[in-house]
């Protein structure tokens, strides 16, 4: 639901508060930025994430200042932004970008149960590359103990989306300057094998499917 913190105030028609839109943006991104305050010092840390239902998971070393701080129940703000295009207007003041973004507020909880930790690490791995978890060695007990996992409920969040052409002042549409959108998208390159990989190791099907889907 819309709250005072999540309500989009600048161009509110671009705000979205439904979980379908929020989930779709989170699932399309790879890096989130985690904002929090420690001893009066604001910090914003980029990190990988994964989502399972209505919870966002982040993980890392137990020595991480971010993870140690968030375990204390402090307020956190997490953002994810996807850039879809450069919007070039006739007027310099109306240049913009097409984008999809999510802002999420809340407090994180420590994930301590081993089965839940496994679920979170599964989500991380398959978020980076769908189907990858089944093609890897699973974490052992020592690795699980050496990894801190936090869960942030997706309960107070909003999305903001801009699409379409530039919006110029009426008087500027007759100007002779080119205007429009330059689309931007993430694309994959050819896989680069680990130099220590056995030469007869084939590229697995899940990677081939990913390349087929994301290559231009």
- pLDDT tens-digit profile, the chain (216 residues): 788 999 999 999 999 999 999 999 999 999 999 999 999 999 999 999 999 999 999 999 999 999 999 999 999 999 999 999 999 999 999 999 999 999 999 999 999 998 999 999 999 999 999 999 999 999 999 999 999 999 999 999 999 999 999 999 999 999 999 999 999 998 889 999 999 999 999 999 999 999 988 876
pLDDT confidence of residue 216: 62
For the chain, the C-alpha Rg in angstroms (whole number) is: 21
CB 166 within 8 A of CB 95: yes
pLDDT confidence of residue 184: 95
Cβ atoms within 10 Å, residue 59: 21
Q: Where are the beta strands (DSSP E) in the chain?
A: 15-16, 31-38, 41-48, 50-52, 55-60, 76-88, 96-106, 109-110, 148-153, 156-162, 180-183
Q: How far apart are CA 151 and CA 196, in angstroms?
A: 35
The phi and psi torsions of 74 (rounded to 5 degrees) equal -75, 155
User: For residue 193, what is the DSSP state?
Assistant: -
Q: Which residues, in sequence order, are bridge partners of residue 43?
A: 36
Q: How far apart are CA 100 and CA 163, in angstroms?
A: 9
User: For residue 203, what is the DSSP state?
Assistant: P
User: For residue 107, what is the DSSP state?
Assistant: -
Cβ atoms within 10 Å, residue 57: 24
- Edge-to-edge strand ranges of the sheet holding 148-153: 50-52, 55-60, 148-153, 109-110
pLDDT confidence of residue 142: 93
Which domains are seen in the chain, by residue range?
A: 12-167+199-214 (2.30.110.10)
pLDDT confidence of residue 2: 86
CB 125 within 8 A of CB 138: no
Q: Exposed, middle or buried: residue 47 (CB in 10 Å: 0-12, 13-18, 19+)? A: middle
The phi and psi torsions of 18 (rounded to 5 degrees) equal -85, 145
The two beta strands, 109-110 and 148-153, are antiparallel
């Amino acid at each position: 639901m819309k709250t005072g913190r999540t309500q989009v105030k600048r161009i509110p028609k671009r705000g979205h508060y439904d979980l379908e839109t929020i989930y779709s943006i989170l699932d399309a991104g790879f890096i989130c930025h985690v904002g929090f305050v420690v001893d009066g010092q604001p910090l914003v840390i980029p990190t990988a994430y994964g989502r399972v239902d209505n919870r966002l998971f982040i993980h890392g070393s137990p020595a991480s200042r971010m993870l140690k701080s968030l375990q204390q129940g402090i307020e956190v703000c997490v953002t994810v932004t996807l850039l879809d295009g450069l919007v070039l207007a006739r007027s310099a003041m109306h240049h913009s970008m097409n984008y999809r973004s999510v802002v999420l507020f809340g407090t994180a909880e420590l994930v301590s149960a081993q089965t839940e930790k496994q679920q979170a690490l599964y989500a991380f791995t398959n978020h980076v590359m769908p189907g990858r978890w089944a093609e890897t060695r699973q974490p052992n007990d020592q690795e699980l103990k050496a990894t801190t996992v936090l869960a942030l409920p997706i309960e107070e969040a909003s999305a903001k989306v801009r699409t379409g052409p530039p919006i110029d002042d009426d008087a500027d549409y007759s100007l002779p300057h080119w205007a429009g959108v330059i689309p931007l998208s993430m694309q994959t390159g050819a896989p680069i094998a680990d130099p220590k990989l056995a030469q007869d190791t084939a590229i697995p099907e899940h990677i081939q499917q990913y390349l087929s889907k994301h290559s231009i």
